[in-house]
Amino acid sequence: MVELINKVREKRTPEFQYSELFGNTFQGEGHYTGVKTVWYRAWGCNFECRGFGQEDPTSPETWVLPFEDIDVEQYKSMEELPVFHTGCDSSYSWAQKFKHLAHKDTAEVIANKILDLQPGRTWAHPKSGQETHMAFTGGEPMMSQSAIAAIMEEWEKLDQLPKYVTIETNGTQAIRAPFKAIFERLLSSGQVKELFWSVSPKLYLSGEDWEQAIQPDILADYADLCNAGQLKYVCNGTDRNWDEVEEATAMYRQAGIDWDVWIMPVGADVEMQESHQAVISDQALARGYNVAARVHCWVYGNVLGK
């Protein structure tokens, strides 16, 4: 009997937990700003980034963390939750108190749900012919590599693979063999034209530890798989912040990462961004960096799923 139960378990189709799927929107940050994009937000993260937006990111006893105080019983879905103004703006994608609101489906179901978000269930728009991009975000999507690989395989079976795939990552999770194998095959065959690494290294204002957050060797492995990407730092304009941008970038350059640097003014909502974005943008431009405004916040306001 035990043997039979084990065999049944082995044959059971795995299900993957995720926070949300959303489409009919565009990339709001960095290199592909404005490009029509569909999103898979993974559940879980190795960081919590409680320092973001705080008056003093180095003083945990002063931090204000709205996600801890929210009465989660008032909400029936992730989509109903408010944007958190301080701390991680996507705390709902990793904090245990929200886990019961996350979704759980097989790769086949997820792949088809994502196709259902698009006109004609196809990546090329039926009117313009322009390609919709696929973005895996989080949380930390590189903790969900099995899910990403399985979803890509489902689209391959349907002959409906996205040509452009973005992974929005903190750059600390090593590539695992199954993930590497499927993307090597899809990229070499031309079925996927680009795997784009949007790496947002966590500096001191995140509240995370430098030694854990800055991992040049891991990014070198990312670039070895596909050398297309960006370094996207969240900045508050302090001297320490700019020093860390330069130090981290120098370490990445030494590891062979030649991607453009984008600077994104700290702020989970429109109001916070508008209070200081001009000054930080000018500072970024003076240093020769690109500016990544959160355009989706301006267009759609402070809401989830956009």
Task: For residues 163-167, give the mean pLDDT.
Answer: 98
d(CA 29, CA 302): 15
Tell me the residue type at 134: M
Q: Residue 151: which of 16, 10, 11 has the closest Cα?
A: 16
Query: For residue 9, is pLDDT > 50?
Result: no
Residue 100 covered by a domain: yes
CB atoms < 10 A from the CB of 209, how many? 11
Across the chain, mean pLDDT equals 91
Q: Is 163's pLDDT higher than 50?
A: yes
Question: Number of structural domains, the chain?
Answer: 1
- CA-to-CA dists, residue 70 to 61, 87, 98, angstroms: 19, 13, 10
Q: Which amino acid, 291?
A: V
Cβ(130)–Cβ(118) below 8 Å? no
Answer yes or no: is 138 within a domain.
yes
| Cross-strand partners of 17 | 104
Tell me if the bond preceding 139 is cis, omega within 30° of 0.
Answer: yes
Answer whether residue 292 is part of any domain: yes
The model's pLDDT over 209-268, given as tens digits with 9 standing for 90+, comes to 999 999 999 999 999 999 999 999 999 999 999 999 999 999 999 999 999 999 998 865
The pLDDT value given to residue 179: 98
Closest residue by Cα to residue 162 from 186, 138, 140: 186
- Could you tell me if residue 6 is inside a domain? no
Please check whether residue 207 is in contact with residue 48, taking contact to mean a CB–CB distance below 8 angstroms: yes
The answer to whether position 305 is within a domain reads no
| pLDDT above 60 (res 120) | yes
The answer to whether residue 35 is domain-embedded is: yes
Quick one: average pLDDT of 272-297? 84
Distance CA 262, CA 31 (A): 8
Alpha-helical runs (H) found in 72-226: 107-116, 145-157, 177-189, 210-213, 216-225
Tell me how far apart the alpha carbons of residues 114 and 121 are, in angstroms, rounded to a whole number.
8
| Inside any domain, residue 81 | yes
- Answer yes or no: is 1 within a domain: no
pLDDT digits (tens, 9 = 90+) for 17-36: 999 999 989 999 999 999 99
Q: What tens digit of pLDDT does each residue of 66-110 get?
A: 999 999 999 998 888 888 889 998 999 999 999 999 999 999 999
Return the closest-CA partner of residue 22 out of 94, 99, 90.
90
Domain boundaries, position 237: 14-300
155, two tokens: 């689209």
Closest listed residue to residue 295, CA positions, set 286, 304, 306: 306
Q: Show the CA angle centred on residue 18, arms to residues 17 and 24, nearest 5°.
A: 150
Q: The domain spanning residue 20 has which CATH number?
A: 3.20.20.70
